[in-house]
Structure 1
Amino acid sequence: MSSLCDDLHQWLNVNLSLSTVLILLGGFAVCAFLVLYIFLWTTTLRDPPVQRSKSESVFRDPVSNQTHMFPLTVATSPTLYLSLVAPAYKEQDRLPKMLGETMEYLENRQKSDPSFTYEVVVVNDGSPDNTSQEAINFVQQYGCDKIRLLELDKNRGKGGAVRMGCLSVRGERVLFLDADAATDIKDVARLEKALDALTTDHSVPALAIGSRAHLQEEATAQRSFFRNILTYGFHLAVYVLCVKGVKDTQCGFKMLTRSAASTLFQLMHIDRWAFDVELLYIAQQLKMPIKEVAVNWQEIEGSKLVPLWSWLQMGRDLLFIRLRYTFGLWTLKLPKSKSS
């Protein structure tokens, strides 16, 4: 009888201990959730940062020295076929090559097909060097109807520069591309063909995005083990938290219909490296069709990406993108004043 009582007492102690541990763990989880929610609530800017100053609303014609207004919304009707947006920060050395190749390609297309109309918008993202002057040199050569310089008052980040540029265009289709000429400009035709397969109507939202996934095996062999770990970790986080079904979210060569650009860039919040992920996350949430297209790409020296620090920033942004939309701190509804 004494042995039975001892066993019962021991059983009760063990189960009480387990219950206590579970209660403590549950309480800790609730506290952690509340702390996280309060942190996000107090640090989240609810509205996308689409506001611009007066100086960011105009471009200058270097020939006449007069200033003209950018279209301040892409909700208006297009007047051109294709708009290209190139964000540039400290790109005085790489920008001339990219613009030279791009303008040559666009001019040749227009000569063979006069109905092909285009513009290039270079967005100087608060560069302290001669990036603006390099862009102005091309404006002087081709005229501000074909190439324009958008000067941001301060550095917004690549996502912020792309947003401001894509909300200042006249084209039916909007392509944003990097200033380093890493992607062959001739591949714009591949994106056009892919977008044609989705829609030829600029008022229908759709995206065709460049992809380097077919180059992954070669890139993996050339990268260090540590960098491969970071890369695979980032891709896993993108898949788990935000975007599924897209092999390469970060290629800086994406084409959108005017409707897609109008909606996505007025909803997007992220200004830094992870902006591509948020853009595609919003597109998928809104059921916009996305076509991924293999493009020719090469590594160009002078990248602004700092491997470890940039990956950590992007990982943090991925988590916050998912949490802020899940908690309703960010929404997928356009303000009436911006969608009218």
Structure 2
Amino acid sequence: MDALIPAQAARSSTLSSMTVDIVIPVLNEERALPGCVAVLHGYLAERMPFDWTITIVDNASTDSTQLVAKRLARQWSRVRVVCLTQRGKGKAVRSAWSSSQADVVAYMDVDLSTGLDALIPLVASLAAGHSDIAIGSRLAPGARTVRGAKRELISRAYNALLRIVHGAQFRDAQCGFKAARAEVIRPLLRRVEDDAWFFDTELLLLAEHNGLRVLEVPVDWVEDVDSRVNVTGTIATNTRGLVRLALAKLSGAADIADLPSRPALRPTHPDAVLPARDVSRLRHLLLFCVVGFVATMMTLALYTFFRTWWPPLAANLVAVALSTLFNTEANRRLTFRGRSRSLVLAHLQSLVVFALYCGFTSSALLALHTVADRPPRWAELVVLLAASAVGTLGRFVLLSTWVFRPRPRPHPVTRTEESLT
């Protein structure tokens, strides 16, 4: 037990020296800014266990927001001001986060729609080294929200689109309440192109695509109707951003090579007995076989059904196409869970596998009809079953090495870990 004391002391010292920079991007907020900073400053002074700073980023306001911000900075020593000449919420956050000297950087909206009680849980996971990015979520279990039906519908539809198109694991991309480890976020900021409202979404999708851990914290959120956000006006911009980012993933342009490497996964208990390396591969193979068996039975049933009206090749084409959609999605969710970051990309690549598989099984049927004139239906099913078995083996190889190939999971070594090594 005594041997653990130095490690505990080092960890405690590291955490106590952590610094947090909380950014408030503002545009023409002369009315809301003083109350926001006063409430936030009081909360941080009373409850924040880490050293902290508040950074107000004025991005080209045309009212007296800049003068108000500077007056607040003179009033409180832990408040600083950054003034930009160009507008854009994303530009404001990027500028402040990129230049910050803090270990953890965060931002929140000036209207304080998100309850501040979620701030410490948001920051603590990052300070401890558990997560890379932490986001407030109005859609996570335990969250409570008060907002209009229009905004609720648009938000849920948009986040559902992210899950369908990009396979996003997070539930709420747009809540203005986020934090990140500074050493991890800087390489991401250099790759984010959007300077407006798509900034949050692009940042999170890039983070997940590159294997970073994104933590969602359920929040209490009350809509402020005096908001500068044009909800419907951002739809077209965000749609273009989703398409652009999908193309970047397909081309490899979304891969970020300069992220620090994540330490190898190891057990916490010193006497833990680890499973053999082959166990994971065997599990993948067994799950794949189960999915493949169900898909094969599905193919045979559909082929028998469609063969009632259609010729062999047409019946096989439709049967294999439908079972392939099931096979790909089942393997994405079960067998190779966590490897694919994009539903669309997985299914597009699987179309190539489908073409090869369909060509192989169709060739087997053609060969049967070439050898035998009008073979019985049972013979077609036997040949199709044998061809499906061989084709399934080839499908496993292509899925595991190409469609769902393992991605490197970058992650920085935290200061806590460095102090203990």
TM over 0.5: yes
Q: Deviations for 1:222-250, whole angstroms, at most 9, x for unmatched residues?
A: 414xx555334312221123351111111
Q: Which protein has greater RCO, CA pairs closer than 8 Å, 6+ apart?
A: 1
User: Does residue 1:138 correspond to 2:62, yes or no?
Assistant: no
Q: Separation in 2 of the partners of 1:293 and 1:100?
A: 24
Q: Deviations for 1:260-306, whole angstroms, at most 9, x for unmatched residues?
A: 22222122111111111111111112211111111121111221222
TM-superposed CA distance for 1:307, in Å, is 2.9
Q: Separation in 1 of the partners of 2:37 and 2:149?
A: 29
Query: Do 1:191 and 1:208's aligned partners in 2 also have CA atoms closer than 8 Å?
Result: yes
Per the alignment, residue 210 of structure 1 pairs with: 136
Aligned residues: percent identity? 26
Q: TM-score, normalised by structure 2?
A: 0.53
Q: Deviations for 1:119-141, whole angstroms, at most 9, x for unmatched residues?
A: 11111111111111121111111
SS in 2 for 1:171: coil
Work out the number of aligned pairs and report it: 242
User: Does residue 1:183 correspond to 2:114, yes or no?
Assistant: yes
- 2:82 equivalent among 150, 154, 173: 150
Per the alignment, residue 174 of structure 1 pairs with: 105
Q: How does 1:1-340 map to 2 (within 5 A)?
A: 81-109=19-47, 116-143=50-77, 146-155=78-87, 157-195=88-126, 198-199=129-130, 206-213=132-139, 214=141, 222-224=148-150, 229-242=153-166, 244-328=168-252, 332-333=256-257
TM-superposed CA distance for 1:109, in Å, is 3.6
Q: Deviations for 1:163-215, whole angstroms, at most 9, x for unmatched residues?
A: 0011121211111111111112232112134335653xxxxx71111111158
The structure richer in helix per residue is 2
One-letter identity of the residue aligned with 1:137: R
Query: Do 2:143 and 2:218's aligned partners in 1 also have CA atoms closer than 8 Å?
Result: no
One-letter identity of the residue aligned with 1:188: L
One-letter identity of the residue aligned with 1:296: D
Query: Do 2:104 and 2:179's aligned partners in 1 also have CA atoms closer than 8 Å?
Result: yes
Q: Separation in 2 of the partners of 1:134 and 1:261?
A: 30
Query: Do 1:243 and 1:280's aligned partners in 2 also have CA atoms closer than 8 Å?
Result: no
Q: Give structure 2 stretches of 5+ with no counterpart.
A: 1-16, 260-421
Q: Separation in 2 of the partners of 1:330 and 1:299?
A: 33
Q: Deviations for 1:23-57, whole angstroms, at most 9, x for unmatched residues?
A: xxxxxxxxxxxxxxxxxxxxxxxxxxxxxxxxxxx
SS in 1 for 2:39: helix
Q: Separation in 2 of the partners of 1:289 and 1:185?
A: 23
One-letter identity of the residue aligned with 1:86: I
Q: Separation in 1 of the partners of 2:63 and 2:132?
A: 36
Cα root mean square deviation, aligned: 2.5
Q: Separation in 2 of the partners of 1:167 and 1:87?
A: 14
Higher-Rg member (1/2): 2
Residues 135 and 206 of structure 1, relative CA distance in 2, 3 Å threshold:
same
Per the alignment, residue 8 of structure 1 pairs with: none
Residues 238 and 176 of structure 1, relative CA distance in 2, 3 Å threshold:
same
One-letter identity of the residue aligned with 2:125: A
Q: Separation in 1 of the partners of 2:234 and 2:94?
A: 20
SS in 1 for 2:217: strand
Q: Separation in 1 of the partners of 2:257 and 2:91?
A: 19
Residues 208 and 300 of structure 1, relative CA distance in 2, 3 Å threshold:
same
SS in 1 for 2:221: coil
Q: Give structure 1 stretches of 5+ with no counterpart.
A: 1-78, 200-204, 336-340
| Over 4 Å off, 4+ runs | 214-220, 328-331
Residues 333 and 131 of structure 1, relative CA distance in 2, 3 Å threshold:
farther
Residues 327 and 218 of structure 1, relative CA distance in 2, 3 Å threshold:
same
Q: Which moved more, 1:317-326 or 1:288-297?
A: 317-326
